[in-house]
Structure 1
Amino acid sequence: MEFDQALRYLGNFGRYQILLYLILNIIASIFTRLQLIGMVFVSYTPKPYYCTPPEGFFVNETVPVFLDQGTEMYDSCHMYVVQDGEVTENVTRCQFGWDFETVHGEQSVVTDFDLVCDDAILAKVSVSLFMTGILVGSVTSGQLADIYGRKPIMFISLIGEALSGLGMALAWNYYVFVIFWFLLGFFEQGLMNCGIVMIMEMFAPEKRTFAGSICAIFRGIGDIIVSPIAYGLPNWRHYELLVSLICLLMLPAWWFIPESARWLVSRGRVEEADKILTKIADFNNIPVPTSSFLTSRPQELSEEVVPLRTPQQQPDKDAIYKPVPAPRKQLGPSRHGHHGLSGHQSSTKIAHQKFIPPASSAQSIEKHSLLDIFKSRVLLVNFLIMGYCWFVIGTVYFGLSLYSAELTGNVYFNVFLLCLVEVPAYVVAYFMMRWIGRRITLSVSISIAGVFCVLTACVPDETSDGKDISALEVTLATIGKFSLTIVIAIMYVFSPELFPTYIRNVGIGACSCFARIGGIIAPFVLHLNKFSEYLPLNIFGILSLIAGILSLYLPETRNKPLPESIQDCERQGHSSLCSSKRHRLESFNSQSSDKAKPDAI
């Protein structure tokens, strides 16, 4: 029978699946978000800051004062020259470091390594190098996971993330720090990609929307707890130590988490996949077919007609077979007085022969790579559109996350508020994907995010008569983040549904590369506020609106099987905006004929 039929028989959300689902989400969703959103506090610049005065002097004696909108402010980068114990009128750059005014004793890489004034760009560079690590990890981990499996690459990434975080916490200078932060990004993406793909490959099509949405809620929970942890550990080194040690506590999960059975089938390792499905059935106290999960006919799963073994019985190691249709006639009459098998016999007595792996078997394993995308025009166009959408998400999401530290008010509250809206956004995304579908929900949500980015850029901190309206700016930014979070939830469900199984992980990794390129340039887009405070958010808005238009040309994948081959992706085609009724009818008929094959996987 088909793989998705086996998943339905096992119940999708049985006891084993729920436990595995929770563990994978803790590792791939929550842990990775602690590092990803934690970058806001790691690279945070407390304000105001000014030159540290020489010993025996005070700030008001050695630091120049200037007016900023009628308010006296200390110069952040200059001080008066002190000569022979006297303060002169000559001005120089800070000679003894900087003092930072903090609300809660915050310490970041900026305060530890004095990344301000002439070196302020180095703080932006460090964030970009972190994103570059994620970019490299997207390419590398995706390809490795499609070749060697999801499970080993995920756990190698888990160990690498923990060790890189410990290296960051012990870094003694800026250059050592950025090396470990790059490595952290590299391993984090492997952890996230493999975990998400394993989760999506656990479920049949009708359950993937629900599973993906709950997975997104776990990511939202990870985002929410970042601010409380950072508030309790205002020193960034202590924060990194805690998060890294927590990662190491999950290593025993290796002995519980199996390899992705869907991936095993795609590589021709059907016996291993069947053993995993049998293990799940035994754990859930579900009767196991006498032959094999992946080769049984659909009617063999009916409890009325199938002889079943008990969970205690061990499966025969040679019980992996491919069914062959039984003969239509018998040599003698049946007990009902007719030639041929009875209805009961015809549904249960099946001749067997050794199982023949599907098309994506071991003979073709080495031939599959990201280059397969270029073999299909439909797959290539969908990939490019998804890549652009991921680029916009990376640019705008990380841009808004970093921008939250610049909003008026308490940095912990602002980050917490912008993360808090993510959980209800994920819930809304689930119902929108279920009722409306992926394509329209994506287009509408990313367009709304773009509109509110533009509106946020146009709102001043105060009115012409001096009335403070900064709360309006925070509100508009929060609505934009809400809409963008819906987009992220959709993309994590939508993206795996557009790639065939044997290049799904590398396809997701490639799409993630576009997001990381956006994350790399996001700090520098925000740096443009030195030229115009309206420029960064307007750029975010325009990029989002373009993505909203392009996403309308993607195919709708709601309640459709995951594509196993490029031909399946071709049958998905594009959206109805560029597909004729005839094309959609042919696709439907082709899918129906594939499902009718008794030996389909």
Structure 2
Amino acid sequence: MTPGNCAAAFSAQMAGEENFKEELRSQDASRNLNQHETAGHPHSRSLEMLLHRLRAVHTKQDDKFANLLDAVGEFGTFQQRLVALTFIPSIMSAFFMFADHFVFTAQKPYCNTSWILAVGPHLSEAQQLNLTIPQAPNGSFLTCLMYLPVPWNLDSIIQFGLNDTDTCQDGWIYPAAKKRSLINEFDLVCGMETKKDTAQIMFMAGLLIGSLIFGLITDKMGRYPAILLSLLGLILFGFGTAFVNSFHLYLLFRFGISQSVVGYAISSISLATEWLVGEHRAHAIILEHCFFAVGSMLLTGIAYSLPHWRLLFLVGGVLVIPLISYIWILPESPRWLMMKGKVKEAKQVLCYAASVNKKTIPSNLLDELQLPRKKVTRASVLDFCKNRQLCKVTLVMSCVWFTISYTYFTLSLRMRELGVSIHFRHMVPSIMEMPARLCCIFILQQIGRKWSLAVTLLQAIIWCLLLLFLPEGEDGLRLKWPRCLATELKSVTILVLTLGEFSLAATVTVFFLYTAELLPTVLRATGLGLVSLASAAGAILSLTIISQTPSLLPIFLCCVLAIVAFSLSSLLPETRDQPLSDSLDHSSQMSFQKDVAPDLSSDGSFWNKVKDMTTEDTSSDDMSEEAAKNVILNAQILRLDPYPVSNPALKQFNKEEANSQAPCGPGPQTILGWN
């Protein structure tokens, strides 16, 4: 080995040690907090933590972009700004997504009988209704019938009354209406009520088509143009809805808004996933979903105070206009640029991010992005059928996503059947979603993506099973139970429904992150589009079943689907501390802990034998990466042979360890096959 190569190898070795030392220092606080908890098994816990650190280091060595992002700044000013940029669009996505629920305010209509004012201009509203509107046997006015006009004077009409009835001829009036809604704007009454469901179906259809379109656009054109296109859709269709002059035009604009909402969700998740590493990625997606809940709360408050439905969309349109500035401040994903062969653009974006973070990227790391012999990675939606592993993962994720969406919409519709006010139905679950999503930070850090998904799905199963034993609607409560008991059962049912939505909100957040990490960069957005398509299908099925079968069947299907999804989720691989896959030929790596770690459930005698080495090596923050690997190797040897003094493998290891003290000597990395 030449002196230059020796010096380079020694520099690389020292750089690896410094990186590992810095990583261990960052975990010092959490290690001190856990000391009391792990007092019963200090050596097991310390070795487990050590294994976790080594697994993270090993992962970063395999992921060149992880090394580059470390040099750029793992979560510096640039990444913080990127995460903050997702907040306002998330708020507005929720605002426009749920606006439908507040513009169809129920109104009591009556036929417009202003013809009688020509013969009795001084009639009060009550007198006008008494003379021109038929009454039901219980004394209430019929909403869809009127007495036909007659050429009589007012005294004759009062004396003899009117007899001939017909449907409303001149539209409807809404005397008790306090707000202007779509119902009294376009007269969606007397057989036209189904148009309200048409608006929901049109919105879901937009989600279906938008999932496919924006998934393809995001992977073909890039994350940056897809986000700008979706934001443009929010501005045009959101603001433009306030000026529609027909219900059919309103449906068209809602169709466009739904595509923009799902397009932004897909492209922004892809961008955040590819710019951030480790737990920062999870935290960013969780915060984005928290601000989605903030948007729902903001919508509830504004809708409650505004007297006209058009003002609601005007306010939302004004709030979304500043998003035009994203044209100049939003970055593109360097991973996507590399997969498309745009090496120069990828370097420029990375260097800009480093300059914002006041960092300098070593030239050797940038040189690793030079891939002259590697062709541009090409992929299409057909690869979801051709690639067996990708097909299996996508099918499982689609089934889980379908279940989550169907269950969430079923619980929301069940809440509506109980007669709960629309503002309560949106405000309380939105408030509950905030802690539900924030709890994901803890569970993702402690048990990983796979088990977090399983835990949240299990909670949803429990709440759905409880709903099978509770009354299904307000009418059923009044008919089957005494009034006092019916009130208590209604409160219990509302509580269980709210807790079910709480669990599903956490499930949605975990699964969005999990899905983005499972899919390769070249097809990440397309895959997110496919699973979002399954989500829209689940919502449509929920609307259909609830409207056709008002019984326990929808809740029973929730239980069955949730159990199936819980079972299928066990087939998915864990992605925590694993490098993001960029191309289709990227194979899932085995867990580092499985490969090199001893069994952490071993008996106490094993830990007594490694007591000194684990305590001594893990108590210091200055421990190098090589020293940590030595601890693992010694632990393996001790696990195989309880008498280390006579173990020839340990003698050989000690000999190799002594040789590793030279700058270019064969270190333990060579023994373990890590180089």
TM-score by length of structure 2 reads 0.69
**Which of 455, 460, 470 is the matching residue for 1:449?**
460
Aligned pairs (5 A) from 1:365-376: 365=378, 368-376=379-387
**Which of 109, 113, 125 is the matching residue for 1:54?**
113
Q: More deviation in 519-528 or 176-185?
A: 519-528
**Which of 250, 275, 296 is the matching residue for 2:323?**
250
State whether structure 2 residue 58 is matched by structure 1 residue 41: no
Aligned-partner Cα distance in 2 for 1:254–1:20:
13
Aligned AA (2:438): V
Whether contact under 8 Å (1:50, 1:63) holds in the other structure is no
Residue 406 of structure 1: how far off its partner (Å): 4.7
Equivalent residue number for residue 568 of structure 2:
550
Aligned-partner Cα distance in 1 for 2:148–2:137:
20
Aligned in 2, Cα 1:225/1:3: closer, same or farther, shift over 3 Å? same
State whether structure 2 residue 87 is matched by structure 1 residue 25: yes
Aligned in 2, Cα 1:112/1:572: closer, same or farther, shift over 3 Å? farther
Equivalent residue number for residue 128 of structure 1:
201
Aligned AA (2:78): Y
Aligned pairs (5 A) from 1:450-529: 450-453=461-464, 455-456=466-467, 458-459=470-471, 461=474, 462=477, 464-467=481-484, 468-469=487-488, 470-528=490-548
Residue 227 of structure 1: how far off its partner (Å): 0.4
Deviating 4+ runs (over 6 angstroms): 595-598
Aligned AA (2:544): F
Aligned-partner Cα distance in 2 for 1:416–1:358:
56
Whether contact under 8 Å (1:78, 1:91) holds in the other structure is no
Residue 87 of structure 1: how far off its partner (Å): 5.4
Secondary structure at the aligned position of 1:12 is classed as coil
Count residues with an aligned counterpart. Answer: 508
Whether contact under 8 Å (1:378, 1:569) holds in the other structure is no
Whether contact under 8 Å (1:64, 1:79) holds in the other structure is no
Aligned AA (1:560): Q
Aligned in 2, Cα 1:572/1:404: closer, same or farther, shift over 3 Å? farther
Aligned in 2, Cα 1:167/1:194: closer, same or farther, shift over 3 Å? same
Q: More deviation in 130-139 or 160-169?
A: 160-169
Aligned AA (1:552): S
Whether contact under 8 Å (1:139, 1:506) holds in the other structure is yes
Query: What is the CA deviation profile of residues 264-323 of structure 1, one whole-angstrom value per residue up to 9, with x for unaligned ones?
Result: 12212222112111111111112332x254436xxxxxxxxxxxxxxxxxxxxxxx7xxx
Aligned AA (1:124): D
Query: What is the CA deviation profile of residues 417-462 of structure 1, one whole-angstrom value per residue up to 9, with x for unaligned ones?
Result: 1111110110122222222222232233234324434544632544
Whether contact under 8 Å (1:206, 1:560) holds in the other structure is no
Equivalent residue number for residue 436 of structure 2:
425
Aligned AA (1:18): Q
Aligned AA (2:147): V
Aligned AA (2:202): L
Whether contact under 8 Å (1:128, 1:519) holds in the other structure is no
Aligned pairs (5 A) from 1:142-181: 142-181=215-254
Question: In terms of Rg, which structure is larger?
Answer: 2
Query: What is the CA deviation profile of residues 61-110 of structure 1, one whole-angstrom value per residue up to 9, with x for unaligned ones?
Result: 6254467xxxx8665x543534534755666544454555878x343323
**Which of 189, 200, 211 is the matching residue for 2:262?**
189
Whether contact under 8 Å (2:109, 2:189) holds in the other structure is no
State whether structure 2 residue 188 is matched by structure 1 residue 115: yes
Aligned AA (1:54): T
Whether contact under 8 Å (2:73, 2:359) holds in the other structure is no
Aligned-partner Cα distance in 2 for 1:398–1:283:
43
The RMSD of aligned alpha carbons is 3.1
Equivalent residue number for residue 8 of structure 1:
70
Aligned-partner Cα distance in 1 for 2:569–2:97:
26
Residue 139 of structure 1: how far off its partner (Å): 0.6
Aligned-partner Cα distance in 2 for 1:209–1:390:
18
Aligned AA (2:538): G
Aligned-partner Cα distance in 2 for 1:65–1:536:
35
Equivalent residue number for residue 309 of structure 1:
none
Whether contact under 8 Å (1:426, 1:485) holds in the other structure is yes
Equivalent residue number for residue 379 of structure 1:
390
Secondary structure at the aligned position of 1:288 is classed as coil
Aligned-partner Cα distance in 1 for 2:165–2:542:
34
Aligned-partner Cα distance in 2 for 1:284–1:160:
32
**Which of 340, 343, 349 is the matching residue for 1:270?**
343
Whether contact under 8 Å (2:148, 2:166) holds in the other structure is no
Aligned in 2, Cα 1:94/1:176: closer, same or farther, shift over 3 Å? same
Aligned-partner Cα distance in 2 for 1:127–1:133:
10
**Which of 145, 148, 164 is the matching residue for 1:79?**
145
Aligned in 2, Cα 1:124/1:145: closer, same or farther, shift over 3 Å? same
Aligned in 2, Cα 1:173/1:503: closer, same or farther, shift over 3 Å? same
Aligned-partner Cα distance in 2 for 1:8–1:545:
40
Aligned in 2, Cα 1:432/1:54: closer, same or farther, shift over 3 Å? same
Query: What is the CA deviation profile of residues 331-355 of structure 1, one whole-angstrom value per residue up to 9, with x for unaligned ones?
Result: xxxxxxxxxxxxxxxxxxxxxxxx2
Equivalent residue number for residue 217 of structure 1:
290
Equivalent residue number for residue 60 of structure 2:
none
* Unmatched runs of 5 consecutive residues or more in structure 1: 297-319, 321-354, 582-591
Equivalent residue number for residue 579 of structure 2:
561
Aligned-partner Cα distance in 2 for 1:438–1:99:
55
State whether structure 2 residue 448 is matched by structure 1 residue 437: yes
Equivalent residue number for residue 230 of structure 1:
303
Aligned-partner Cα distance in 2 for 1:376–1:80:
66
* Unmatched runs of 5 consecutive residues or more in structure 2: 1-62, 117-126, 151-156, 600-668
Aligned-partner Cα distance in 2 for 1:401–1:113:
26
Query: What is the CA deviation profile of residues 487-527 of structure 1, one whole-angstrom value per residue up to 9, with x for unaligned ones?
Result: 11011101111111111111111111111222334333332
Q: More deviation in 475-484 or 56-65?
A: 56-65
Aligned in 2, Cα 1:117/1:523: closer, same or farther, shift over 3 Å? farther
Aligned pairs (5 A) from 1:213-362: 213-289=286-362, 291=363, 293-295=365-367, 355-357=370-372, 359=374, 361-362=375-376
Whichever structure has more strand as a proportion of its residues is 1
Aligned-partner Cα distance in 2 for 1:58–1:400:
43
Whichever structure has more helix as a proportion of its residues is 2
Aligned AA (2:83): Y
TM-score by length of structure 1 reads 0.77
Secondary structure at the aligned position of 2:367 is classed as coil
Aligned-partner Cα distance in 2 for 1:159–1:93:
44
Aligned-partner Cα distance in 1 for 2:546–2:459:
20
Aligned AA (1:525): I
Aligned-partner Cα distance in 2 for 1:118–1:143:
40
Aligned AA (1:544): A
Q: More deviation in 542-551 or 150-159?
A: 542-551
Aligned AA (1:41): F
Aligned-partner Cα distance in 2 for 1:58–1:456:
48
Aligned-partner Cα distance in 1 for 2:444–2:307:
39
